[in-house]
Structure 1
């Protein structure tokens, strides 16, 4: 049994895909927050800003010792160390490099109060401990005047 061939219908011009297209007649797309609100802060940007601000503070206190140290942020380590668990950071003294792992710091830390202040304090404590490890100092000795409020 043969099939009836139909004449090919003319194909419409390709539609422009990308920013601002009118989807299903709903109007042009805009940002989620609208034109009058600032962009939303994500956990990733908050983590990066906390690490960067803590590093900037410690570089102002220890400029000579931290001038050659490079800092990086990665999602997580490659493997779990048997008996130790998941690392929060890696210090490579020979390369003068510190890598902070965002996901273990954010998700595997047990907080007694889960709010922005305590999450920031955990991130800052990890930065302090990693820098103390590369400098061979106690974390409390890195910024002794910071904690003297009396």
Structure 2
């Protein structure tokens, strides 16, 4: 059975499932929305892709970004893939589970998780464009 992939999009927090109409959040209207790892990952990837499309509009205009749970098949000699780039089809697939679970962060907080996810997006785009990852967004992490 093929693994499912999702297109990158902004999540609204509400959904129309099986034609039953829009459903509200489980937390109700008075509490903040529950934030899952899936929502956090989607938001990080979407913001990084939006940022890169603004920097490289012509190069990334026809590129399709997808998210899959994990890579198909067995791990290769280099380990588990975090992304796959298909230059011919102009497609980048990011694998959520390896990116989230195999990261060895020195501090496990939202900022470091977001930075790691963004770095995977930047490296995948750099591979697609045939550039060095540092040339993709040189001003991104310059905080001085």
TM-score of the pair, normalised by structure 2: 0.79
Which residue is equivalent to 1:104? 98
TM-score of the pair, normalised by structure 1: 0.76
TM-fit CA distance, 1:109 = 1.1
Q: Which stretch of the first structure deviates more once superposed, 73-82 or 118-127?
A: 73-82
Within the candidate set 76, 80, 83, 2:77 is matched to 83
Task: Answer yes or no: is the 8 Å Cα contact 1:80–1:87 preserved in 2.
Answer: no
Within the candidate set 33, 40, 50, 2:34 is matched to 40
Q: What is the RMSD of the two structures over their aligned residues, measured on CA atoms?
A: 1.7
Within the candidate set 41, 51, 63, 2:57 is matched to 63
Give runs of aligned pairs for residues 48-59 of structure 1, distance below 5 A: 48-59=42-53
Segments of 5+ residues of structure 2 without an aligned counterpart are: 1-19
Runs of 4+ in structure 1 deviating by more than 3 angstroms, as ranges, are 147-150
TM-fit CA distance, 1:83 = 1.1
Segments of 5+ residues of structure 1 without an aligned counterpart are: 1-18, 20-29
Q: Which stretch of the first structure deviates more once superposed, 117-126 or 81-90?
A: 81-90
Q: Please give the secondary structure, in 2, of the residue aligned with 1:104.
A: helix
Task: Answer yes or no: is the 8 Å Cα contact 1:88–1:100 preserved in 2.
Answer: yes
Which residue is equivalent to 1:127? 121
Deviations 1:48-90 (A, max 9, x none): 0100000000000000000011000000011233311110000
Q: Which has the higher strand share?
A: 2
Task: Answer yes or no: is the 8 Å Cα contact 1:79–1:86 preserved in 2.
Answer: no
Higher relative contact order (CA 8 A, sep 6+): 2
Total equivalences in the alignment: 122
